[in-house]
Amino acid sequence: MESISLVELTKTARLIPGPTNVGLLEFGGEAWLVDSGNDKEAGRKLLALVQGRGLKLKVILNTHSNADHIGGNAYLQGATQCEIWAPRIEAAFVEEPALEALMLWGGSPPRELKNKHFEAKPSMVTRKILGDEKIEGASFVALPGHFLDMTGVLTADGAFFLGDAAFSPEVLDKHKVPFVLDHRLFRASLSKIQATPAKVFVPSHGEPSEDPLPLVKANIEALDRIHGIILESLKTPKTFEDALSALCDSFGIGLNATRYALVGCTLRSLLTYLREERLVDSFFEGSRMKWILL
């Protein structure tokens, strides 16, 4: 978060733009943040802004536990004793951030995944949110798929903070393969976003929009492209590594340890989804697991 500014969305909701957008909700002298940025410095700037507006930070509403969304938690909670509310499963990762890299790698992760981009400082969750849940002046809206138990935050006056349930076209164009942990749930959450009445829709990475349709459409098209590439590649049997190579070659993605973990997790999740849809199957050939189009 290099600089900090405010964009008014509704009477109660503000957007603090950054590499990861943060929401500011104002209720009677209290500030409620939607996520906290990517590190301690982001937390410092957020607190200065809140206090500069004469507000007391009451709570951080974490949409999910990725480090760029909870990176300011520890500083802000330490400085203000604010509450932190998070979805039930995400709460475990907020309190024990080392779990994220462990899950992504499927074992003890390499040093490339042991940094602030994957492992924020731990903070204490004071309230666990269970799915769709109304809170004072807003509601949590369950939007799983990108991560384990992700949620959006919808204010009573119509600002809908989406977390990473949908990525902007610019982000999709840059990264080519968005991180998706459950492809079925990600698609269902896109449909839920489109069906939810709101005045403005705010992705965590990208510009707010009054119409969710272009955002939803861009994400569906991105998923469909990825699915098409994998289905085409599996016309002949492929190991996971072969399928990963086909996907990355199609988009010109060069791999390192972090991209291997992120793109690889998305691909493993996709292969599971495609098998559940009876579009592909898997078998073992000697010591190698292979995937094939049905």
Residue 115 belongs to a domain: yes
pLDDT per residue over 19-61, tens digit each? 999 999 999 999 999 999 999 999 999 999 999 999 999 999 9
CATH of the domain at 200: 3.60.15.10
DSSP assignment, residue 200? E
Whether pLDDT at 2 is above 70: no
Residue 187 belongs to a domain: yes
Domain count, the chain: 1
Distance CA 49, CA 274 (A): 46
Residue 79 belongs to a domain: yes
Residue 266 belongs to a domain: no
pLDDT per residue over 62-88, tens digit each? 999 999 999 999 999 999 999 999 999
Sequence-ordered strand ranges (E) for 143-251: 151-155, 159-163, 200-203, 238-239
pTM to 2 decimal places: 0.96
Distance CA 142, CA 126 (A): 19
Residue 202 belongs to a domain: yes
Residue 82 belongs to a domain: yes
Whether pLDDT at 89 is above 80: yes
Alpha helices in 111-175 (DSSP H): 169-175
Q: What's the confidence (pLDDT) of residue 4? A: 79
For the residues 111-137, what does the mean pLDDT come to?
94
Residue 128 belongs to a domain: yes
Domain extent for 205: 7-165+181-210
Residue 167: CB atoms within 10 Å: 24
Residue 19 belongs to a domain: yes
Q: Which residues, including other chains, have CB under 8 Å from residue 81's CB and lie 6 or more apart? A: none
